[in-house]
Structure 1
Amino acid sequence: MLPLVGPDFGAVGGSSQLRAIVGALLTYGLIISVLMVVTCGATWAISSSNGSWHAASKAKTGLFVALGGAALTGAALAWANWLLDVGAQL
């Protein structure tokens, strides 16, 4: 029978505090990304309706960057958990 190999988070001093800090950073990242989506979406809508195409283009770019940031931030924890699960099975 193969032994289960995985990270021993209990061996690291302060691992519970590290998990709390990482969770807080991910929460802040998601909150900032959502605020940027709202801000850029509103700016895009207002500048498009006023005929300011340059500002609308910049706001559209900001919206897509904020959406990408939100997706990457939200997927970071799931990806890390998946990697830990795969590492435990090797």
Structure 2
Amino acid sequence: MFDLINSVVSLPLSLPVLLPMDIDINPNSNGLPGISQLRTIVGAVMTVGLILSVLALIVSAVVWGFGANSSNPHLAGRGKVGVLVSCGAAVICGASVTLINFFWNVGQSV
């Protein structure tokens, strides 16, 4: 009984270790039809995101101003949060290509 348990425990140690082969795969910019149209669509979505971020910033600033001038701290707080969120959204939309390239490079170095 003890020999059976000992042989089962030592079984994984006797299996050969398989290491992955040296694989090098890079993005293919012409591998699928419609890649250029997809890039155009992504660029348009980034532009719309930036425009909506500016609109949200303007609306939030107006809400913040109304809340501050009407002595309504809840409305002023909501306006402040809206300003921060719209600025964060603009940063993410503007830096999305740089962020993706950075994390791609980090993933390639792993």
TM-score range, shorter chain: 0.7 to 0.9
Aligned length: 87
Residue in structure 1 matched with residue 74 of structure 2 by the alignment: 54
Residue in structure 1 matched with residue 56 of structure 2 by the alignment: 36
Counterpart CA distance in 1 for 2:54 and 2:103 is: 26
- Quote the offset at 1:85 in angstroms: 6.4
Q: Aligned-residue CA RMSD in angstroms?
A: 2.1
Counterpart CA distance in 1 for 2:32 and 2:94 is: 25
Written as runs of structure 1 = structure 2, the 5 A alignment for 1:1-90 is 6-83=26-103
In structure 2, runs of 5+ residues without a counterpart are: 1-23
Matched letter for residue 37 of structure 2? Q
Counterpart CA distance in 2 for 1:79 and 1:72 is: 8
Q: Normalising by the residue count of structure 1, what TM-score does the alignment of the two structures yield?
A: 0.80
Higher alpha-carbon deviation: 72-81 or 8-17 = 72-81
Counterpart CA distance in 1 for 2:89 and 2:40 is: 21
Aligned identity (percent) is 35
Describe the SS at the equivalent of 1:9.
coil
Q: Normalising by the residue count of structure 2, what TM-score does the alignment of the two structures yield?
A: 0.67
In structure 1, runs of 5+ residues without a counterpart are: none
- Flag the structure with higher helix content: 1
Structure number with greater Rg is 2
